[in-house]
Amino acid sequence: MLRDSDTIFALSSGAGKAGIAVIRVSGPGAAKALQLLTGKPLPPERRAALCALSDAQGELIDRALVLWFPGPRSETGEDVAEFHVHGGRAVVAAVFEALSRQDRTRLAEAGEFARRAFQNGKLDLTAVEGLADLVDAETAVQRRLALRQMDGALAHLYEGWRARLLRASALIEAHIDFSEDGVGDSVIAESLSQLSQLAQDLRTHLTEGRRGEAVRDGIEVVILGAPNVGKSSLINALSRRDTAIVTPIPGTTRDVIEVRLDLDGWPVLLADTAGLRESDDPIEKEGIRRAQARAVRAMLKLVVFDATALPALDPASRRLLDDRSLALFNKTDLSGNAPLEVDGAPALSVSALCEIGLSEVRSWLSTRLAGCVGALDAPVFTRERHRQALEGCLQAVEACAAGESPELLAENCRHAAFALGRITGSIGVEDLLDVIFKDFCIGK
Ligand code: GDP
């Protein structure tokens, strides 16, 4: 049976051959593990020491840097030892073998180091999630967002709001208990005014959060247009990878094809969609339905027209143009000049085949993304779980304004505070933990 009191170990650096591999050990047996492998007394705290590591038979495994972090001043809050060995599979296997010989010492489960850090009060849940996002971050903007969350930006904001709510509920309760002793209605009035300010802050935060979710999950940009205008060629050219099927037969892209791009640090989820046209084929019709659904959802749209068909413009594509769109006249290697705008939307002349105008497309996207997502100066939340709890909190705060009895007012404040506490994990989160930590890899 797995126990929290077990000593755990794992490879914390990437799997496979590498210059260095970092093996972390956490738990009550960490000190003994260090002594056993090095055959020496513990090295000085938090200072790297070069040691020979040997197995139970006394055979040399490797020469390694070791580090000793006695709890609670460690990543997990427990005693932690680190072995920085040479990153060969046999070296790591031999250290694992030697470690597992110790009593109550086993390989860590996915996310178990972070879970122990949470349980020992080293990280709140939003910091844990920030850590997971930092490991997964693929672009600079994602890295910045994750780092800020890991450093406690969200926790700080929510704990501040929670303290305001708890203070309001305490004041109201005082009013209930002592109302006959002259604690006046001004207490209620003051609390209500504070709560209405908080409701406003929550609403703003909820609107801004969409941007955080978009950065974490990838910002949706969709390529739309009639069949055969060069949508698939364009996604390939923009991503410089062969991700979409390019053929001269109209109607071959029937589902949405996605590719992740790092566009000046912005994480973009670029989607190629089925060509828009009248069709009786049920599969193609479904593809077109999905394309239109994407068009509604996406933050930005690239609407592609065939420059060789000018002056004719596909009416279905034209209807998709709005202030989130850039019109692209493709195949300009075959035709002359195209207009600079269509129905108020800016337009660029490109050739997917000859890679003309693509850097202008990238730069339009990057500028617009910066405009849509903004500087992300204020802390923004990043997960559906946060959104749900914040909505629950807002509902309870709004219920306060309904002007019911002071008892109900205090009760709603507590509900709202509870919802915030669940985000940071300061209360009532046992049911959430498995879901949150399962996303981690082993060794984190
Ligand atoms: P989709 O149906 O809109 O995805 O279009 P495809 O990307 O499959 O392209 C349709 C046809 O147009 C293919 O034969 C491509 O090689 C051709 N094509 C795409 N882009 C260009 C371009 O910029 N110039 C020229 N000359 N042909 C292109």
Residue spans of the domains in the chain: they are: 7-108, 130-211+383-437, 218-373
CA of 331 relative to ligand 1 center, distance in Å: 7
> Tell me: the pLDDT tens digits for 399-408?
987 767 888 8
- Assigned CATH class of 7-108: alpha beta
The pTM of this model reads 0.79
Mean pLDDT value across residues 101-107: 93
CA of 60 relative to ligand 1 center, distance in Å: 62
- Residue 50's DSSP bridge partners are 65
Q: Is the peptide bond before 41 cis (omega within 30 degrees of 0)?
A: no
d(CA 239, CA 263): 10
d(CA 269, CA 275): 19
Percent of the chain with pLDDT over 90: 57
Per-residue pLDDT band at 106 (split at 50, 70, 90): very high
Q: Phi and psi dihedrals of 30, rounded to 5? A: -65, -40
> Tell me: the pLDDT tens digits for 307-335?
999 888 999 999 999 999 999 999 999 98
For the sheet with 18-26, list strands across it: 49-54, 60-69, 80-87, 18-26, 7-11, 105-107
- The hierarchical CATH code for the domain 218-373 is 3.40.50.300
d(CA 140, CA 150): 15
Task: Tell me if 333 CB under 6 Å of ligand 1.
Answer: yes
CA of 247 relative to ligand 1 center, distance in Å: 8
Which ligand 1 atom minimizes the distance to the CA of 233?
7
- The hierarchical CATH code for the domain 130-211+383-437 is 1.20.120.430
d(CA 277, CA 348): 23
- Residue 281's DSSP bridge partners are none
Which pair of tokens denotes residue 166? 């708890």
Mean pLDDT value across residues 391-418: 87
Q: For residue 256, what pLDDT is reported?
A: 77
> Tell me: the pLDDT tens digits for 27-82?
999 999 999 999 999 999 999 999 999 998 999 999 999 999 999 999 999 999 99
Q: For residue 251, what pLDDT is reported?
A: 58
Per-residue pLDDT band at 2 (split at 50, 70, 90): low
* Most confident range, picked from 2-6, 244-248, 435-439: 2-6
Distances (CA, A) of 191 to 170, 183, 205, 407: 10, 13, 21, 13
Task: Tell me if 238 CB under 6 Å of ligand 1.
Answer: no
Task: Tell me if 267 CB under 6 Å of ligand 1.
Answer: no
Judged on CB neighbours under 10 Å (0-12, 13-18, 19+), 255 is middle
Task: Tell me if 231 CB under 6 Å of ligand 1.
Answer: yes
Number of C-beta neighbours around residue 233 at 10 A: 19
CA of 248 relative to ligand 1 center, distance in Å: 7
CA of 330 relative to ligand 1 center, distance in Å: 8
Per-residue pLDDT band at 4 (split at 50, 70, 90): confident
Which ligand 1 atom minimizes the distance to the CA of 225?
3
Per-residue pLDDT band at 249 (split at 50, 70, 90): low
Q: Phi and psi dihedrals of 23, rounded to 5? A: -110, 125
**DSSP type of residue 351:** B
Q: For residue 213, what pLDDT is reported?
A: 87
